[in-house]
């Protein structure tokens, strides 16, 4: 399998596995230390926003709608920055994600007294904004080429790749999608493990530091390689 990974997948795809793990970690941060908010699963939020009214859970519907709006705002903001502020930085969206996580940490620690309670909606909204921005990291011809937190689509493509492999194709037809899915799941599991030892603010702080290191890597290494090419 390792020779296939080295020979078949480029640095962009390998970087996507790292960022997918980050997305999984952020999802775990929100889910384990809040009222079950989704920051990576907009399909679930869309259903909640519509169905909450039928179950007398108006706040659930409203909060889900706000998270969808925050996610879209992250996508739009990162796309505008990509076009106007950092056209030579293909992965500059990670900067917005780091900033949004830092703001979420500060807001939770100063306004909501930190680890003493579950993460409230406002810090979660900043995390969701960051996830939306993160999903614009990989763009080709003006469209997202690798959606980092869209696990449903990844599994559909993996299933199609498995069929192609069975029908005479190659292992690489589905391996990349599997590794993307595994990275996301591994990041979520890692976040779940960390949640056993720290509260919501601590989780946000750890996620901010990890995201900052990832941003540094993309700026100092991945973006330079993209420019060299």
pLDDT at 227 over 50: no
Give which of 199, 180, 209 is closest to 29, Cα–Cα: 199
What is the number of helices (H) and of strands (E) in the chain?
10, 2
Round to the nearest angstrom and report the end-to-end CA distance of the chain: 27
List pLDDT tens digits, range 192-218.
888 888 777 888 888 899 889 888 877
> pLDDT > 90: what percent of the chain?
28
pTM equals: 0.85
Domain ranges of the chain: 10-224
Identify whether the C-beta of residue 19 lies closer than 8 Å to the C-beta of residue 137: yes
Cα angle 183, 188, 192; round to 5: 145
3-class SS letters over 90-109: CCCHHHHHHHHHHHHHHHHH
pLDDT at 147: 83
List pLDDT tens digits, range 131-190.
999 998 888 877 788 888 888 889 999 999 999 999 988 888 899 899 999 999 999 999
Average the pLDDT over 58-68 and give the result. 85
In the CATH scheme, what architecture does the domain 10-224 have? Up-down Bundle (1.20)
69 pLDDT band, cuts 50/70/90, is: very high
pLDDT at 70: 94
> pLDDT > 70: what percent of the chain?
85
Give which of 101, 76, 140 is closest to 23, Cα–Cα: 101
pLDDT at 115: 56
pLDDT at 118: 67
């Amino acid at each position: 399998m390792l020779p296939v990974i080295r020979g078949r997948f480029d640095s962009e795809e390998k970087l996507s596995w790292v960022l997918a793990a980050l997305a999984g970690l952020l999802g775990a941060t929100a889910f384990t230390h809040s009222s079950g908010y989704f920051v990576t699963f907009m399909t679930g939020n869309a259903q909640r926003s519509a169905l909450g009214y039928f179950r007398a859970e108006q706040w659930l519907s409203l909060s889900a709608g706000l998270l969808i709006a925050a996610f879209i705002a992250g996508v739009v903001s990162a796309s505008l920055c990509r076009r106007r502020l950092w056209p030579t930085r293909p992965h500059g969206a990670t900067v917005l994600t780091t900033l949004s996580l830092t703001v979420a940490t500060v807001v939770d620690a100063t306004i909501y007294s930190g680890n003493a309670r579950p993460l409230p909606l406002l810090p979660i909204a900043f995390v969701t904004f960051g996830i939306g921005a993160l999903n614009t990291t990989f763009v080709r011809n003006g469209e997202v080429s690798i959606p980092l937190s869209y696990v449903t689509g990844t599994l559909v493509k993996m299933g199609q790749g498995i069929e192609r492999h069975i029908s005479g194709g190659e292992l690489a037809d589905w391996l990349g999608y599997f590794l993307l899915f595994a990275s996301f799941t591994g990041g979520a599991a890692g976040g779940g493990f960390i949640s056993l030892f720290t509260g919501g603010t601590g989780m946000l702080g750890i996620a901010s530091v990890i995201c900052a290191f990832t941003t540094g890597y993309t700026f100092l290494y991945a973006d330079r390689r993209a420019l060299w090419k």
